[in-house]
Amino acid sequence: MNATFAVVLCTLAAYLLGAIPFGFLISKARGIDIRQKGSGNIGATNVFRCVGKPWGILTFVCDFLKGFAAAFFFPMIARHFVSSVNPEAVSVACAFMAVAGHNWPVYLGFKGGKGVATSAGVLLGIAPLGVAVGLGVWAVIFLLSRYVSLASILAALAIAGASWPLYFKHGYLIPIALTLLGAVSIWRHKANIQRLLNGTENRFDFKKKPEAQG
């Protein structure tokens, strides 16, 4: 097996793993098509609101882990079979493909989520300091505003900005990758941005009961 073939296989596997629609599957197991509820998004926030807190948390964990597995373990697998591959480059490629899989899953006609949890997982796999920055910003903004979308957008901006002083000394690859991932995440929130500007975005309500159950 040559290096190119190993990288192609890993990135394809990363996409297929990232494309697993855990929010849809978990909600379906509860008798709910999450695409027909709330925002219609298959991500953890919509599952949390419409199916229930435990199921939203489970969705987040599953989406997070598929991103982490793609970015952290797949390069190890590639390096095991082909010692000449660049593990950092494979990690970044797999990270992008996992997020792309979540955002545009082949299993659901290429209509997926916004990639926040999956992006957090790949960040832990390739740039753990970025997770600390993003989580800190997300928590502060969310607690102050109770807008999940605003917290996610500003966390993406913070990670992209912090990646340069944190990782630039090791080369351009990681900072560029985190900046591009942040840009994709923000772009996927374009409808939320419009609602925030219009003042029509929904705040997160911890006390609100799910819209429908099982």
What pLDDT, on a 0 to 100 scale, did the predictor assign at position 85? 87
Residue whose C-alpha is closest to residue 122's, from 7, 27, 11: 11
Residue whose C-alpha is closest to residue 100's, from 78, 77, 122: 122
Span 19-73, pLDDT tens digits? 999 999 999 999 999 999 998 999 999 999 999 999 999 999 999 999 999 999 9
Residues in contact with 34: Cβ distance below 8 Å, sequence separation at least 6, in sequence order: 23, 24, 27, 28, 40, 41, 42, 46, 47, 50, 51
Residue ranges of domains in the chain: 1-126, 128-204
- Tell me how far apart the alpha carbons of residues 46 and 115 are, in angstroms, rounded to a whole number: 13
Residues in contact with 185: Cβ distance below 8 Å, sequence separation at least 6, in sequence order: 114, 115, 116, 119, 152, 153, 156
Span 122-159, pLDDT tens digits? 999 999 998 899 999 999 999 999 999 999 999 999 99
What pLDDT, on a 0 to 100 scale, did the predictor assign at position 205? 77
Span 156-174, pLDDT tens digits? 999 999 999 988 887 889 9
User: Does the pLDDT at position 208 exceed 90?
Assistant: no
Three-state helix/strand/coil letters over 44-87? HHHHHHHCCHHHHHHHHHHHHHHHHHHHHHHHHHHHHHCCCCCH
Q: Are 18 and 98 in contact (CB under 8 A)?
A: yes
What pLDDT, on a 0 to 100 scale, did the predictor assign at position 200? 94
What pLDDT, on a 0 to 100 scale, did the predictor assign at position 214? 38
